[in-house]
Chain A
Amino acid sequence: GAGVSQSPSNKVTEKGKDVELRCDPISGHTALYWYRQSLGQGLEFLIYFQGNSAPDKSGLPSDRFSAERTGGSVSTLTIQRTQQEDSAVYLCASLWGGPGTGELFFGEGSRLTVL
């Protein structure tokens, strides 16, 4: 597709359930980021993938969070045993090269509500 695609756009789940959020970056973009934005707050870094390098997972808030990127393209963010504080918009962004070499393209986000 022409832009960064995320699914689902909205997800309501019960506390304790697992959720998977998907990001399909722009074709050819080697860098992929996951961020989370709580209501009225700024962007919180979660994880960064760059090509075949080991991902930077330093932003993942707990071991309930994990992410993978298959074939250098599609990425999945998994949250296990969801908690109410996980409720937020999860944003995926991609760019070609590194942060200083291209524009950052964001998806529309996946809004997660944990009841």
Chain B
Amino acid sequence: KNEVEQSPQNLTAQEGEFITINCSYSVGISALHWLQQHPGGGIVSLFMLSSGKKKHGRLIATINIQEKHSSLHITASHPRDSAVYICAVPTNTGNQFYFGTGTSLTVIP
């Protein structure tokens, strides 16, 4: 069993749709990271959160520590949002991260 599970694995949406990507984890954590990787591109950090909710533009991330679950929401999705979204949590030693397998999002114009 993976320490971090993401769903869905693949997601196709029409431009303008509201999108939700889910991340569940099984370890105790100090913080959870959401990352974005465009095709052929580098990895960008979107959020680091340890409680509650954070918002950057059209992106919103929430976390429920008790339920060990986080969601990434994209409002008014746009084709440029097409990317792989990755959830990551630190290991207990803090030396590494457990990464989810990623959610590949395609937003169609």
User: Which A residues fall within an 8 A CB radius of B?
Assistant: 33, 42-43, 45, 48, 50, 56, 58-59, 91, 93, 98-109
Contact = CB atoms under 8 A, between A and B. Distances in A.
A56 B42 contact: no
A41 B94 CA distance: 23
A100 B99 contact: no
Nearest to A49: B95
B35 A56 contact: no
17 contacts: A42-B99, A58-B95, A59-B96, A91-B42, A93-B43, A98-B90, A99-B30, A99-B31, A100-B29, A100-B94, A103-B48, A104-B33, A104-B35, A104-B45, A104-B48, A104-B97, A106-B45
Interface residues of B, number: 24
B47 to A, nearest CB: 8
B45 A99 contact: no
A43 B93 CA distance: 18
Interface of B: 29-31, 33, 35, 41-45, 48, 50, 86, 88, 90-91, 93-97, 99, 101-102
A106 B44 contact: yes
B42 A107 contact: yes
Given A91-B43, A106-B44, A100 B96 contact: no
A56 B30 contact: no
Nearest to B2: A42
B88 A48 contact: no
Contacts of B97: 33, 43, 45, 99, 104
B33 A103 contact: yes
Nearest to A109: B42
A115 B35 CA distance: 31
Contact of B99 (A43, A50, A108): A43
B43 A100 contact: no
Contacts of B41: 108
B20 to A, nearest CB: 21
B56 to A, nearest CB: 12
B95 A100 contact: no
